[in-house]
Copies of this chain bind each other. A is one copy, B any other.
Amino acid sequence: MTLREVFIGMELPPLVLPGITRKTLALFAGASGDHQPTHIDIDAAHAKGREDVIAHGMLMMAYLGRLLTDWVPQERIKSYQARFVAMTPVHAVPTCRGRVIAIVDGLATVELSISLADGTTVVRAEAVVDIREPAASRQAAPGAASVPAPSTPPLLIERQGSFAAGGTVLRHPGRYDSTRAGPKGQTLHGDHAFAVYQVPVGARKHPLVFVHGNGQFSKTWQTTPDGREGFQNIFLRRGFATYLVDSPRRGAAGRSTEPAILTPAPDDQFWFDTFRVGRWPDYFDGVQFPRGPEVLDQYFRQMTPNTGPFDLKVVSDAMAALFDQVGPAVLVSHSQGGGVGWFTAMKSAQVRGIVSYEPGSNFPFPEGEVPAPLASAAGPFAAVGVPREAFLQLTRIPIILFYGDFIPEAPTPHVGQDQWRVRLAMARRWVEAVNRHGGDASLVCLPDVGLHGNTHFPFSDLNNVAVADEMSKFLAAKGLDQ
């Protein structure tokens, strides 16, 4: 068994170092006892025909070692060999990088390098790292009993924050009077999306913008109900900037320009069934869902109401505004967020790819090609028609749809499960339509690739790291993880 988070192609968080100054070199000379003039004496460098002093190779090695030891404990590094390919002049700004290029028998080979701001590579190295889980590792090195269990390494966040995007403004006529109450002359800003973002150090080019499903909010992508890391942390660790969105009229984006009546109607069991955890009160056999009353308590508390009517136009308008702020990015959607994603991509060319988990509504077909509604125990399920030109935008980006397990092939009277039979059937037709028009869409049922037992929330299920690996493969295949 290997450490959950290591995969081929994985990049270590780059280590961007401050520029090397004369002071750095003088300090290092003092520290190491290496007082060679070539590092600290510009006259001596001139005498050697060099323009200026150069950095200690040991300093560079120490930097590269630091990249590795920031990632795994030193004792996991089984071998290490380095080659100095160029000298590092004073004032250089080195960046250390590493990439897993092979995994064999629990040993990962990591390709390492240091490059400078002008692109010169100055050191190349290769390390072999033991990525077996603690038990196996202890077995291999019996003396290491006191070694702390490998824990999740810290996250190195370059910047993080939050902002509202898009939205509209209601204006009440009249003149505002600061001595009286009432709406006269006042405004209300609402219908925006709200995003919390984190950018890791050395982030990849395309951020991931995560959009939740019905009844949910950004929590979908955070800590799982049993306290494991969700896609937010998993993909931060894989070097992606993450934007977690609350869509208009939900969660942190609660301010709506339309009224709403909120009624606390008990429906936890309905969601348990609809999210395919089981058939209440039973869990499906082999379901990848953690057990326990505490877990279920957290799971049910992930729900949050609409604070205004769900309006696909309002939501996708705000999402398009958000993408225009973020720039080129990949949209990762769940369930109702799937429909939001298709309509966002039709409005903003900044959507450069879509990964959609269990989309189940608002599949857009070119007008004239809309399939008939499909009957299910949850009622008829219809697709929507859009102008052909809008639809064609969806043929210009790579798209993948993932579905979990326990989706019945034949009709069943159980409402929660049966609706997914027709949603999946419609999804297949939609993927065919996109590809028929020259697009690049694919649909993966996770059991078909060996991942069994997933619910409607594969990204927070017990096997969510394996689920993330499937997403990583797609991003790599489509060049979206540069």
Contacts and interface: CB of A to CB of B under 8 A. Distances in A.
A104 interface: no
A267 B187 CA distance: 6
Chain A interface size band reads 35 or more
A477 interface: no
A47 interface: no
Interface in A12-66: 17-21, 23-24, 27-28, 30-34, 57-58, 61-62, 65-66
Contacts of A233: 160-161
Copies of this chain held together in the complex: 2
Given A269-B185, A269-B186, A65 B32 contact: no
Contact of A154 (B17, B156, B268, B416): B156
Contacts of A252: 217-219, 246, 251-252, 304
Nearest to A146: B91
Interface in A242-274: 246, 250-270, 273
Contacts of A229: 161
Contact of A188 (B227, B266, B307): B266
A181 B264 contact: no
A190 B252 CA distance: 16
A160 B178 CA distance: 43
Contact of A300 (B18, B58, B187, B263): B187
A210 interface: no
Nearest to A271: B186
A268 B188 contact: yes
Contact of A69 (B17, B65, B164, B176): B17
Interface string A191-234: 01010100001000000000000000111001100010100010
Given A20-B74, A161-B233, A162-B219, 10 more contacts: A19-B147, A31-B58, A33-B58, A93-B148, A155-B160, A178-B273, A186-B270, A188-B266, A196-B222, A259-B261
26 contacts: A20-B74, A23-B74, A23-B77, A28-B62, A31-B57, A31-B58, A32-B58, A33-B34, A93-B148, A155-B155, A155-B157, A161-B222, A171-B266, A178-B273, A186-B267, A218-B252, A219-B252, A246-B252, A251-B252, A255-B301, A255-B304, A259-B261, A259-B262, A259-B263, A261-B261, A262-B307
